[in-house]
């Protein structure tokens, strides 16, 4: 799915990319429409039999859902994980490999570099990435990688506030405020 400039602008303003998009996170009760539309997807991620997956962002302070996915038996510091971002304003997602501290649950992690989004260098994580790709496809969500997201912003676009540092298309499409 290729986004038009007008759709990209709407996503950056936390608005639905199209009028008919089911989720509007600016409504009084955005959780209702997020769960109605993405409830099955969230469940298929967090209750997956092939890997462990924890939801770490629910759209409350962002325009995306965020999940940390890793091997079921992983425990300790410096664990290799995938972080999955699912946009709430359009059916797009991305994931990248990073490290986390995993004990009873994920307690700390870093964001992947935008130039590494979609690049998985760990065989076990490749299996998880393939499963994530299938789940996203089943839910009609386009998977973006560094080719679409590690590009400079289109002229005229400006990131007003974002806790995820950077000035690339990824930082415009996936925003978090304080």
Model pLDDT, residue 156: 83
Q: What count of other Cβ atoms lies within 10 Å of the Cβ of residue 148?
A: 19
pLDDT at 67: 97
| Alpha carbons 167 and 94: distance in angstroms, whole number | 17
| pLDDT value at residue 30 | 53
User: What pLDDT was estimated at residue 132?
Assistant: 97
Return the pLDDT at 117: 96
pTM: 0.93
In the chain, which residues have pLDDT < 70? 26, 28-32
pLDDT of the residue at 23? 84
Domain ranges of the chain: 29-173
Residues in the chain: 178
Instruction: State residue 108's pLDDT score.
Output: 87
Name the CA dihedral angle for 8, 13, 18, 19, rounded to a multiple of 10 degrees: -160
Q: Is residue 34 exposed (0-12), middle (13-18) or buried (19+ Cβ within 10 Å)?
A: buried
């Amino acid at each position: 799915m290729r986004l038009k400039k007008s759709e990209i602008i709407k996503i950056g303003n936390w608005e639905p990319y199209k009028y008919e998009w089911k989720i509007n996170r600016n409504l009084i009760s955005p959780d209702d429409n997020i769960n109605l539309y993405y409830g099955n997807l969230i469940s298929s991620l967090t209750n997956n039999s092939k890997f462990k997956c924890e939801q770490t962002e629910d759209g409350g302070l962002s325009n995306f859902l965020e999940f940390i996915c890793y091997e079921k038996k992983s425990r300790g510091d410096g664990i290799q994980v995938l972080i999955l971002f699912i946009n709430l304003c359009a059916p797009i997602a991305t994931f990248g490999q990073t490290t986390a501290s995993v004990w009873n649950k994920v307690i700390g992690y870093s964001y992947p570099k935008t130039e590494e989004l979609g690049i998985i260098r760990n065989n076990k994580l490749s299996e998880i990435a393939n499963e994530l790709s299938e789940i996203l496809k089943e839910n009609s969500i386009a998977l973006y990688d560094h080719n679409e997201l590690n590009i400079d912003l289109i002229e005229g676009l400006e990131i007003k506030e974002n806790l995820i540092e950077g000035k690339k298309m990824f930082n415009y499409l996936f925003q978090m405020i304080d």
